[in-house]
Amino acid sequence: MADVYLHGHHASVLASHGARTAADSAAYLLPHLREGLLVLDVGCGPGTITLDLAEAVGPSGQVVGVENVDGPLDQARRLAAARGDDRTRFELADVMRLPYAGASFDVVHAHQVLQHLTDPVGALREMARVARPGGLVAVRDVDYASMAWHPASEGMTRWLGLYRRLARLNHAEPDAGRHLVAWAHAAGLSHLTPSASLWTYATPEQCGWWGGTWARRTLESTFATQAVERGLVTPEELAEISDAWHAWSRHPDAWFAMTHAEVIAHV
């Protein structure tokens, strides 16, 4: 079965992904980066993390960001131009068949990618193939089952169950975080450094932004289209879930957190 990116690349999704930085999404990797390294960023999306990684490896380094569709790459190139970065490349590529020779990169990084793949172990093997001896493979993925929020919301609980069910119908693993170490071992990787970190939304501004993005994505993204097409939910029910996100985001006591697992493999 072909891999399905459940979020899709609707503007509401790219806006959410475009808020990510290396500081909040790749902090576990940053201490391992230095001037002059060659880095491959798999599943780079709109490029915000990629361009931060480029700053970390400096003008003598090189970062290549890859996506399997053109839309996010166009946005990433525009962002690079706006930031005055003419070194970072953004290219079309499939993580299962990377168009690079073996041992091409010092670091191969993927953020929130393995959870969407039908063969995450194969992807890790391919990432390791293009990493140089002594280099690193670094991956970070959320664990959807770890998501917790307050106050309780029936609509958001329905959303989480629907998302996890739909991901598994696509033969993907929404609770990928807890599997990263096992997947790395199955891919033949050793010398692992595992860790975990949280995304937390607790201020009115943070909760308003997070709830607002998911209120839109519930109605507009590929998640919405697939959920309706598969008969898991009606458009009216999706509207109710979207309203629940909005209601939660405005609550004065709103709080949301999710766990991300991280693994660095020394190749």
Give tens-digit pLDDT for 215-257: 999 999 889 999 999 999 999 999 999 999 999 999 999 999 9
Enter the tokens of residue 122.
Answer: 């194969």
Q: CA 102 to CA 129: how far, in whole Å?
A: 5
Exposed / middle / buried, residue 23 (Cβ in 10 Å: 0-12, 13-18, 19+): exposed
Orientation angle between helical segments 222-229 and 204-220, nearest 10 degrees: 50
Whether this model's pTM surpasses 0.85: yes
Where does the pLDDT of residue 1 fall: very low under 50, low under 70, confident under 90, or very high at 90 and above? very low
Kindly list the structural domains of the chain, giving each domain's residue range(s) and its CATH number in brackets, ordered by start.
11-266 (3.40.50.150)
Per-residue pLDDT tens over the stretch 138-190: 999 999 999 999 999 999 999 999 999 999 999 999 999 999 999 999 999 98
Per-residue pLDDT tens over the stretch 20-67: 899 999 999 999 999 999 999 999 999 999 999 999 999 999 999 999
Q: CA 3 to CA 147: how far, in whole Å?
A: 24
Count of C-beta atoms within a 10 Å radius of residue 82: 9
Q: CA 46 to CA 81: how far, in whole Å?
A: 13
Is residue 4 over pLDDT 80? no
DSSP-assigned letters across all residues of 96-148: TB-SS-TT-EEEEEEES-GGG-S-HHHHHHHHHHTEEEEEEEEEEEE-GGG-E
Q: CA 109 to CA 220: how far, in whole Å?
A: 29
DSSP-assigned letters across all residues of the chain: -----TT---HHHHHHHTT--HHHHSTTTGGG--TT-EEEEET-TTSHHHHHHHHHH-TT-EEEEEESSHHHHHHHHHHHHHTT--S-EEEE-BTTB-SS-TT-EEEEEEES-GGG-S-HHHHHHHHHHTEEEEEEEEEEEE-GGG-EEES--HHHHHHHHHHHHHHHHTT--TTGGGGHHHHHHHTT--SEEEEEEEEEE-SHHHHHHHHHHHHHHHHHSHHHHHHHHTTS--HHHHHHHHHHHHHHHH-TT-EEEEEEEEEEEE-
Q: CA 155 to CA 143: how far, in whole Å?
A: 20
Per-residue pLDDT tens over the stretch 103-146: 999 999 999 999 999 999 999 999 999 999 999 999 999 999 99
Backbone CA torsion sign across 175, 167, 114, 75: negative
